[in-house]
Amino acid sequence: MRILLPLFFLLATHQLLSQVSSKKHEITISSSQFSILGSTNVNQFECELIDYIPADTFDIQSKWDTKSIHFDNLKLSYPVEAFDCGLEVMNHDMQVLLQSKKYPTLTLHIKQINLNKNQVAIETLYVNSLVDLTVGGVKREVTVSDGVVTNHSESSLTFSGVVNINMTDFGLDPPVKFLGMVQVNEKLTVKFAVRMEVNTL
């Protein structure tokens, strides 16, 4: 990534830029993983998309300063009905919970990546990030505190992260099954990993 990776290198080695800069990029998502993990009073479950390509190419603009990168229009959409929970009945329950007929996609909008302090290596960088997560038609800004940027080459990186959310924040009601004997906990964990191939325009 001819702009983003050198920028992370400058930040990591403390050769800081003196002013805000911006650049246009063409970003191709070469692979993406998105998982939703939850639990009930009797077990745990995981619904996931593996190696899903959310879109062909994004034309975006980035702005950066001495410690962060801001993205415009880096939005990834995931079809709810494509999530695999391991059992067909669980797939159906997840689709009902997330109202897939009315809201067929989840959306991850990566808005900002901030480099954590006191880092030297650039192959793997520990970051925090602001993202917009849209579930069931409800958008919430969430902080990804333990994000990771893995630099594969000068034009390729993977951004991954984990965030905990509450169903009720998105207007979702935790379902009850089997006459009230199985209760789904309202807290969910979202995991994602997005590999990007970047061409600076």
- What is the structure's pLDDT at 56? 72
In this predicted structure, what is the pLDDT of residue 108? 95
> Which DSSP letter does residue 40 get?
B
Which SS3 state, helix, strand or coil, does residue 201 take? coil
Tokens read off for 4: 């983003």
Q: Mind listing the pLDDT tens digit for each residue in 108-127?
A: 999 999 988 777 667 888 99
Report residues of the chain scoring pLDDT below 70: 1-20, 66, 120-121, 178-181, 201
**Per-residue pLDDT, 10:** 44
Handedness of CA 119, 191, 25, 103 (dihedral sign): negative
Q: For position 4, what pLDDT does the model report?
A: 52
At 123 the pLDDT is: 82
How confident is the model at residue 19, as a pLDDT?
54
Q: What pLDDT shows up at residue 147? A: 93
Tokens of 20: 């805000």
pLDDT one-digit tens code per residue, 5-41: 544 544 444 444 445 577 787 888 999 999 999 998 8
Per-residue pLDDT at 6: 47
pLDDT at 13 (0 to 100): 45
Domains, the chain, in order of start with CATH, read 4-200 (2.40.128.110)
Separation of alpha carbons 201 and 188, rounded Å: 38
Q: So what's the pLDDT on residue 183?
A: 85
